[in-house]
């Protein structure tokens, strides 16, 4: 069951400083197949980084076409079965750019949103990395808030 959002906070029209859509994250079963597929559509592999998930190591790739970013990520081998069970594709999360990750995190925490991370996480993307966290919506959808570090 998801927490109810504090109505008083909602009425104040949260000022989260969202500046745009950061990226759409798509879990894939084989990056060696997915990367060429997206390259065939005109996307370029602009970043790649490992990440740790439930004791294993996965890989995350950012594919860019103009100002559009798609994050393709492959989970560690033992976790891939959950993706392979689906007969259709799916989008894992939508990410928003923010200008102050700590402020955004604290504001949403005070508002009663369900936040998946205890603190904003770090990923070695971009020149100086980025910090991000996710909230869960009413139907289990994940919304990521992401600050690219200067």
CATH number assigned to the domain comprising residue 131: 3.10.180.10
In a domain, 1, yes or no: no
4 burial via Cβ count (<10 Å: 0-12, 13-18, 19+)? exposed
Q: Report the domain count for the chain.
A: 1
Q: Tens of pLDDT along the chain (150 residues)? A: 445 556 565 556 677 888 988 999 888 888 999 898 888 888 899 999 998 888 889 999 999 988 889 898 888 877 666 655 655 567 788 888 999 999 999 988 988 889 999 999 999 988 999 999 998 876 677 889 999 999
Q: Domain range spanning residue 102? A: 7-148
What are the residues facing 24 on neighbouring strands? 70, 94
Rounded to two decimals, the pTM is: 0.64
Please report the pLDDT score of residue 28 as a whole number: 85
Q: Could you give the CA distance from residue 92 to residue 88 in angstroms, rounded to a whole number?
A: 13
In a domain, 2, yes or no: no
Burial 97-135 (b: 16+ CB within 10 A, else e): bbeebeebbebbeebbbbbeeeebeeeebeeeebbbbbb
CB 120 within 8 A of CB 100: no
């Amino acid at each position: 069951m998801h927490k109810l959002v504090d109505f008083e906070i909602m009425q104040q029209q949260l000022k989260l400083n969202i500046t745009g859509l950061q990226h759409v994250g798509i879990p894939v079963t084989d990056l060696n197949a997915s990367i060429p597929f997206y390259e065939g559509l005109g996307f370029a592999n602009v970043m790649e980084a490992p990440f740790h998930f439930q004791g294993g190591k996965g890989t995350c790739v950012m594919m860019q076409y103009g100002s559009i970013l798609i994050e393709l990520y492959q989970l560690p081998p033992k976790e891939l079965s959950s993706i392979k069970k689906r007969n259709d594709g799916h989008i894992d999360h939508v990410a928003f750019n923010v200008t102050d990750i700590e402020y955004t995190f604290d504001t949403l925490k005070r508002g009663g949103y369900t936040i998946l991370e205890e603190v904003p996480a770090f990923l070695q993307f971009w020149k100086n990395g980025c910090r991000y966290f996710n909230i869960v919506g009413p139907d289990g959808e994940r919304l990521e808030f992401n600050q690219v570090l200067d």
